[in-house]
């Protein structure tokens, strides 16, 4: 499942006072514009949310910017620095501001069967397909983090076949803390977070005891308490150590902390 929007740049929104009060510098397009020297005009900022959750999908957002014409969009920060109300307000602004935008998802079942890295690639591939379907072909990708999970050159299975075929053919550039510094990536994080949160609130109506309207599927004490009492749902990642000590993802690295909502 994925969604895409294509539109011209919109008027910048008012600043998010809460993020500014925390002393964070607003992300800019400064780093993205360095790609103009390579002849690149359309660049896709990419970020993921939900990687460390116990339940629900992992989601990948893409926001494409035009390096020749794009104006800054005030108020956008890494989604973790924004309140739910701020993210909801910014979501339609980001989608109008972006040349094209999309969010792709991989389900808990797909995470269990493929592993978290391949599931990230699957979600990103679905979002990428929506961008291409909107008639926009990014010439480069800026990906938050240090590992290119979107289109790795040679991540093969035991049978020497790609677990998930990557659709992104553009060169991928990784940058640690890009969601904090780069406006295109911060924008991608906002739309991914808003869409995934809405999905978790919808799933909450089916399984209200787990508190997904509040914890969004992350490993809060209340969430684990219900897991111990009632067991996992079809939306839990049952291949994970749901009730273990320190959670680890399929790659063996520590996963992100529960959402602060």
Binding residues for a divalent metal cation, as ranges, are 47-48, 144
Residues across the chain: 261
Query: 17 vs 21, 94, 184, 188, 191, CA distance in Å?
Result: 6, 17, 20, 20, 19
- Please give the annotated binding residues, written as ranges: 47-48, 144
Q: The tokens 């809460």 sit on which residue?
A: 18
Strands (DSSP E) found in 24-156: 42-49, 58-66, 100-106, 140-144
Secondary element (H or E) of residue 109? helix 108-114
Cβ-contact 94, 192 below 8 angstroms: no
- Which letter does DSSP use for residue 156 in this model? B
Q: How far is CA 96 from the centre of its chain?
A: 18
* CB neighbour list of residue 121: distance below 8 Å, 6 or more residues apart: 149, 150, 151, 152, 163, 164, 166
Q: Supply 174's token pair.
A: 């990784």
CA-only gyration radius of the chain, Å: 18
Nearest-angstrom CA–CA distance, 188 and 27: 12
The 10 Å CB-count burial string (b at 16+, else e) for 95-111 is bbbbbbbbbbbbbbbbb
Number of H helices, E strands in the chain: 9, 6
């Amino acid at each position: 499942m994925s969604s895409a929007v294509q539109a011209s740049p919109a008027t910048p929104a008012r600043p998010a006072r809460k993020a500014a009060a925390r002393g964070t510098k607003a992300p800019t397009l400064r780093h993205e514009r360095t790609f103009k020297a390579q002849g690149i005009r359309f660049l896709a900022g990419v970020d993921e949310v939900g990687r460390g959750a116990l339940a629900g999908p992992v989601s990948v957002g893409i926001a494409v910017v035009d390096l020749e014409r794009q104006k800054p969009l005030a108020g956008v920060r890494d989604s973790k620095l924004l309140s739910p109300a701020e993210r909801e307000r910014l979501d339609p602004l980001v989608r109008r501001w972006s040349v094209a935008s999309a969010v792709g998802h991989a389900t808990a079942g797909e995470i269990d069967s493929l592993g978290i890295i391949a599931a990230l690639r699957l979600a990103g591939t679905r979002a990428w397909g929506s961008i291409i379907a909107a008639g926009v072909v990014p010439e480069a990708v800026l990906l938050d983090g240090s590992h290119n999970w979107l289109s790795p050159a040679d991540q093969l299975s035991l049978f020497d076949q790609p677990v998930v075929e990557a659709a992104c053919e553009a060169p991928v550039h990784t940058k640690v803390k890009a969601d904090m510094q780069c406006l295109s990536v911060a924008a991608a994080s906002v739309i991914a977070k808003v869409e995934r949160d809405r999905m978790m609130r919808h799933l909450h109506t089916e399984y209200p005891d787990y508190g997904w309207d509040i914890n969004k599927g992350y490993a809060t004490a209340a969430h684990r308490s219900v897991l111990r009492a009632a067991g996992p749902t079809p939306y839990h990642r049952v291949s994970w150590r749901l009730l273990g000590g320190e959670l680890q993802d399929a790659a063996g690295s520590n996963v992100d902390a529960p959402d602060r909502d």
